[in-house]
Amino acid sequence: MRQVVALSPLLPEVCRLGLATRGNTHLAAEDVEAALERGVNYFNWCGHPDGLSRAVARLGSTRKQVVIAAQFQARSASDAAREFDRMLGELKLDWIDVLTLYYVESQSEWDEIVAPGGAWEYLDGQKKRGLLKMIGLTSHQREPAARWAQTGNLDLLMVRYNAAHRGAERDVFPVTQALKIPVVTFTGLRWKALLGPTPADPPGFTPPSAVECYRFCLEQPAVSVAVAAPGNRAELDQDLELLDAWRAPADEERELLLSHGERVRKHAGIFW
């Protein structure tokens, strides 16, 4: 199982375990820097001031060794210009490596983004200027996301994938592999539901660790990076244990996790 991957010839290779913030996490800048020291160098920023943004703002000479991705809210070119400039200022960057159009969940949103005067037009211009390296998209809607990737307007997809949410294996990965574009996955723990028991667990069953859950995601050859979004330093340290034992799951581990994923899907509530 590969530990590093090249997302683009324009970017440095990255560790396939990435680090994300989501607006309600409590990582300090020092925690993010500790992850970087361990080799994690794909950072996915939620767009709000936090420990990750503060760590990025003081990267200094290590900037070229890190891939900075950010979730991008704008749908129009004018809003995109304001948001892009704000991000450069907040992160103290001269360029951004990856922007993913955030939670595009409908055809009407996509149509707005790619229409004349839409956000894509502005971002494509920034790519041509060298201020942005890759345009991506984050969505829960697998089939539309795959269809939008086929337009040629996207360099990367970011989709949900874990042992309880496996629809990307059918709807997304065959498309992205044919297109040869990278996939970044999120929600690898299914909001921690995979780490806990279900009412249908067999006797003596022990729920998997976060490391086991990320191993499952990263064993998938179509997945370039799986981002972890730990809520605090203790959870970050647990996630980073994967780096000390980087391997694919054993057959028995995989089967146990898949069975647990099915039980979580049945008992853990709404999936959308």
Q: Which of 170, 131, 115 is nearest to 123 (CA)?
A: 131
Dump pLDDT digits (tens) for 187-234: 999 999 999 999 999 999 999 999 999 999 999 999 999 999 999 999
Dump pLDDT digits (tens) for 14-61: 999 999 998 777 899 999 999 999 999 999 999 999 999 999 999 999
Half-sphere exposure of 37 (CA within 13 A, CB side): 8
In sequence order, the 6+-apart residues with CB closer than 8 A to the CB of 95 are: 88, 130, 131, 132, 133
In sequence order, the 6+-apart residues with CB closer than 8 A to the CB of 232 are: 25, 26, 27
Q: For residue 13, is pLDDT > 60?
A: yes
- Local structure of residue 60 (DSSP, 8 states): G
CA distance 43 to 49: 14
Enumerate domains of the chain plus CATH numbers: 4-267 (3.20.20.100)
Dump pLDDT digits (tens) for 58-91: 999 999 999 999 999 999 999 999 999 999 999 9
Dump pLDDT digits (tens) for 177-199: 999 999 999 999 999 999 999 99
Dump pLDDT digits (tens) for 237-272: 999 999 999 999 999 999 999 999 999 999 977 655
**229 with 177: CB under 8 angstroms?**
no
> CA triplet 66, 98, 155: central angle to 5 degrees?
125
CA distance 240 to 1: 16
**197 with 205: CB under 8 angstroms?**
yes
Structure tokens at 135: 């345009």
**139 with 103: CB under 8 angstroms?**
yes
Q: Per-residue confidence at 146, pLDDT binned at 50, 70, 90?
A: very high
In sequence order, the 6+-apart residues with CB closer than 8 A to the CB of 152 are: none
* Backbone φ, ψ for residue 39 (5° rounding): 110, -5
